[in-house]
Amino acid sequence: MQGKSPIATKWVLVLLFALAACVGSGPSDRQPSRSDQTPVTAGRLPSNSPQTRQCISQLRRMGASFEPLPDRWFGGGCTALSSVKLLDIGTPLAHMTAITCPMATNLIAWSRDVAQPAARRYFGANIRQIETMGSYSCRPVNGQAGNGLSEHGRANAIDIGGFTLADGRRVTVLNGWNGKDDRVRQFLRDIHKGACRNFQIVLGPDANHWHADHLHFDMGKGPYCR
């Protein structure tokens, strides 16, 4: 009778480890390895930090309806730390994913103090819905392979594609930024410029062609406003 050779046993173990690695990959609550321990900046604070607890209180005081999300570590350095699921900030937001608490408070401030007043000023109507193109998304800067991790990969950014007004009109960055309607052009430039007071990085169609159809706001290292 022939038993398993040591080599066969070794390969069985290798296979088991490989399977365990497959099961462990993908979105999960995996803890970070030592090499993931990067300096603490916005978007990298865990939910139990004093700054995050203070931010969550502020979010409540602002009257937002939201669900705090557990800290999550995804593959490729992507994380969603001290993030929330925004349910209601007064103006409905379409296509939202996880967003860090500091991004959420600044988004609310921008929506209330910049975007809504500008819509009333230029169009005589409130914004009924802000059409986002998402917040958390694990991808490199500008979606280009080889670039560093985008702040979207830390739930620390949001893309805004356009707006639906209370009277049903629709304003989009793609059609409006260089479009024929002066009011729309001015409105978009005003809310872009105004966002530079709320966020660290603000990018629009004048930044590069990757932003032809949206405004990008993040709380990474700034300030940069283009």
Choice from 44, 154, 192, 216 touching Zn ion (CB under 5 A):
216
58 contacts: CB under 8 Å, gap ≥ 6: 105
x-or-dash string of contact with Zn ion, 78-117, rule CB under 5 A: ----------------------------------------
CB of 22 to Zn ion, least distance (A): 30
In terms of Cβ atoms closer than 10 Å to its own Cβ (0-12, 13-18, 19+), residue 86 is: buried
CB of 159 to Zn ion, least distance (A): 4
Tokens of 184: 């729309």
Asked if 159 is part of the footprint of Zn ion (rule: CB under 5 A), the reply reads yes
Which residues face 38 on adjacent strands? Answer: none
| Residue nearest to Zn ion according to CB distances in the complex | 216
Contact stretch for Zn ion (CB under 5 A) within 54-62, 64-72, 114-122, 157-165? 157-165
Distance in angstroms (rounded) separating the CA atoms of residues 36 and 79:
10
Find the Cα–Cα–Cα–Cα dihedral 108, 111, 114, 115, rounded to 10°.
170
Contact stretch for Zn ion (CB under 5 A) within 11-19, 57-65, 87-95, 149-157? 149-157
Residues within the interface to Zn ion (CB under 5 A): 157, 159, 216
